[in-house]
């Protein structure tokens, strides 16, 4: 039986797909990237914004039309917040709530058995299967370390959709990372809804988990997905003296105005955030900090917006994800007074995009003339040998080289920035230095 996986939204959704893909393979089924040939399509939906909700509805319709014969399994935040509605969508065979995701594979196989009227004739495959991540054409593994969030930022629907915090055990996470390493994966990113809250329910912490991973795995590259800035202890950046921990963090600030942050119920002030960024950059040269920003939050005055623009300019983020405020039913922010007109949100978004592009080009230029170990992920032009990869600082880089293999790590020179300012460029046409396995002994580039 062939299983196809689709996701919208966050890295956590991707991490869950990887887990399910491997579980299906352990039952003797195969992963396919072609929706049309699949016997089962699993869609992990999103609802972080009203637009994401709409895209999830549209994607369910597209999947059903593309392969009406396949069993369609829908899960994720859109499905959890609208369970009864999604059950009635054309072609949906099974809806799995976020709280039941651990049982998605068993529920799906049970559904298929019931539909067929007998037990599956596919024999289970025991032992280590080929890695489902690589079969899906991805080369960086997303590791789900926890789910849920204890906080209630006024704009966020995800904490409602995902529920209470639940951390995976250190042993389970280590086992998954070591399995991926044996299967050929060379970079993982730790993800969750509230990554910095890891361990609060099991007597551990993110700091302790990272220490355990660094000590008890040989994964060459370890990243952190989005981490709330208030969760990090004073000594956190000492961990980055280990070069396998990549020198980049996504720290969402959401606004550069303290008064707006209070209305958002965020637990970090701009001065505290600035000190955190300073610590990171003092500890690790060229440390890359990226962030999220919401434009046009209810009541955001022109003065507050200027505060945000000035804060972003002073901080100098390597990349900014920009979201015009989306009023989500069920959140406190949707009921706040002084909801701003869409034209104001869009205008501020355009202004922030222009600033973010300028800051990104400045950030990339700082790396020109250095060298970096690059994980190559995608060949975009086979005739010219053009590849796209990522540096340890999570900057995209392109090169023309026919000698590259997918998922390989090579050390290259950084010779410039692309004309559109979006990525680094390796121009030098000479053999690149292969990094067979950085392991515990690599040096920070």
Last residue within a domain, chosen from 333, 365, 397 = 365
pTM of this prediction? 0.87
Distance, CA of 164 to CA of 167 (rounded, Å): 10
Statement to judge: residues 428 and 305 lie in one domain:
no
Q: For residue 372, is pLDDT > 60?
A: yes
Q: Is 41 helix (H, G, I), strand (E, B) or coil?
A: strand
Statement to judge: residues 352 and 397 lie in one domain:
no
Statement to judge: residues 316 and 398 lie in one domain:
no
Statement to judge: residues 174 and 112 lie in one domain:
no
Distance, CA of 230 to CA of 291 (rounded, Å): 14
Q: Examine residue 126 and state whether it is found in any structural domain, yes or no.
A: no
Phi and psi angles of residue 70, each rounded to the nearest 5 degrees, phi first: -75, 150
* Domain CATH for 260: 3.80.30.20
Statement to judge: residues 162 and 49 lie in one domain:
no
pLDDT digits (tens, 9 = 90+) for 130-166: 555 555 556 788 999 999 999 999 999 988 889 899 9
CA-nearest of 257, 354, 357, 251 to 297 is 257
pLDDT digits (tens, 9 = 90+) for 274-321: 999 999 999 998 999 999 999 999 999 999 999 999 999 999 999 999
Contact (CB, 8 A) for 289 and 280: yes
The CA-based diameter of the chain, rounded to the nearest angstrom, is 67
Q: Examine residue 232 and state whether it is found in any structural domain, yes or no.
A: yes
pLDDT digits (tens, 9 = 90+) for 161-193: 898 999 999 999 999 999 999 888 999 999 999
Q: What is the CA radius of gyration of the chain?
A: 22
Q: Is 439 helix (H, G, I), strand (E, B) or coil?
A: helix
Long-range contacts, 204-210 (Cβ 8 Å, 24+): 204/167, 204/170, 205/233, 206/231, 206/232, 207/233, 207/235, 207/236, 207/239, 208/170, 209/145, 209/170, 209/173, 210/239, 210/245
Q: Examine residue 121 and state whether it is found in any structural domain, yes or no.
A: no
Query: Which residue in this structure is represented by tokens 């390989």?
Result: 408
Last residue within a domain, chosen from 344, 365, 386 = 365
Distance, CA of 332 to CA of 75 (rounded, Å): 25
Contact (CB, 8 A) for 262 and 410: no
Last residue within a domain, chosen from 365, 400, 415 = 365
Residue 431's pLDDT is: 47
Q: Examine residue 271 and state whether it is found in any structural domain, yes or no.
A: yes
Q: Examine residue 259 and state whether it is found in any structural domain, yes or no.
A: yes
Domain that holds residue 277: 133-365
């Amino acid at each position: 039986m062939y299983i196809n996986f689709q996701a919208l939204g966050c890295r956590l959704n991707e991490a869950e797909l990887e887990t399910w893909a491997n579980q299906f393979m352990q039952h003797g089924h195969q992963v396919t990237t072609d929706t049309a040939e699949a016997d089962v399509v699993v869609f992990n939906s999103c609802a972080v914004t009203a637009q994401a909700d709409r895209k999830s509805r549209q994607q369910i319709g597209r999947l059903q039309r593309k392969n009406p014969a396949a069993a369609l399994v829908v899960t994720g935040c859109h499905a959890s917040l609208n369970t009864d509605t999604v059950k009635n969508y054309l072609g949906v065979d099974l809806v799995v709530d976020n709280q039941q995701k651990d049982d998605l594979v068993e529920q799906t196989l049970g559904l298929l058995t019931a539909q067929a009227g007998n037990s599956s004739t596919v024999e289970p495959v025991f032992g280590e299967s080929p890695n489902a991540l690589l079969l899906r054409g991805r080369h960086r593994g997303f590791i789900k370390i926890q789910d849920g969030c204890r906080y209630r930022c006024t704009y966020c629907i995800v904490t409602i959709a995902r529920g209470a915090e639940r951390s995976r055990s250190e042993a389970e996470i280590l086992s998954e990372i070591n399995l991926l390493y044996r299967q050929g994966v060379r970079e993982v990113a730790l993800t969750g809804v509230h990554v910095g809250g890891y361990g609060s329910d099991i007597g551990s912490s993110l700091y302790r988990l990272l220490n355990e991973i660094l000590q008890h795995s040989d994964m060459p590259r370890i990243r952190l997905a989005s981490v709330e800035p208030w969760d990090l202890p004073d000594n956190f950046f000492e961990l980055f003296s280990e070069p396998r921990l990549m020198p980049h963090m996504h720290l969402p600030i959401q606004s550069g105005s303290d008064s707006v942050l209070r209305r958002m119920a965020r637990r970090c002030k701009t001065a505290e955030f600035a000190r955190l960024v300073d610590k990171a950059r003092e500890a690790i040269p060229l440390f890359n900090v990226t962030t999220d920003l919401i434009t046009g939050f209810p009541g955001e005055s022109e003065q507050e917006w200027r505060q945000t623009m000035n804060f972003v300019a002073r901080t100098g983020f390597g990349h900014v994800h920009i979201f015009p405020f989306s009023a989500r039913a069920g959140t406190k922010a949707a009921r706040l007074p002084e909801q701003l007109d869409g034209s104001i949100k869009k205008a501020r978004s355009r202004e922030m995009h222009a600033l973010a592009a300028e800051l990104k080009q400045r950030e990339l230029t700082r790396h020109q003339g250095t060298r970096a170990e690059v994980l190559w992920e995608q060949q975009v032009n086979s005739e010219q040998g053009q590849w796209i990869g990522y540096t340890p600082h999570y900057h995209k880089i392109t090169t023309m080289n026919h000698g590259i293999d997918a998922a390989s790590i090579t050390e290259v020179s950084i010779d410039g920035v692309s004309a559109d300012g979006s990525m680094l460029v390796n121009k030098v046409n000479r053999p690149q230095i292969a990094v067979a396995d950085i392991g515990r002994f690599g040096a920070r580039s």
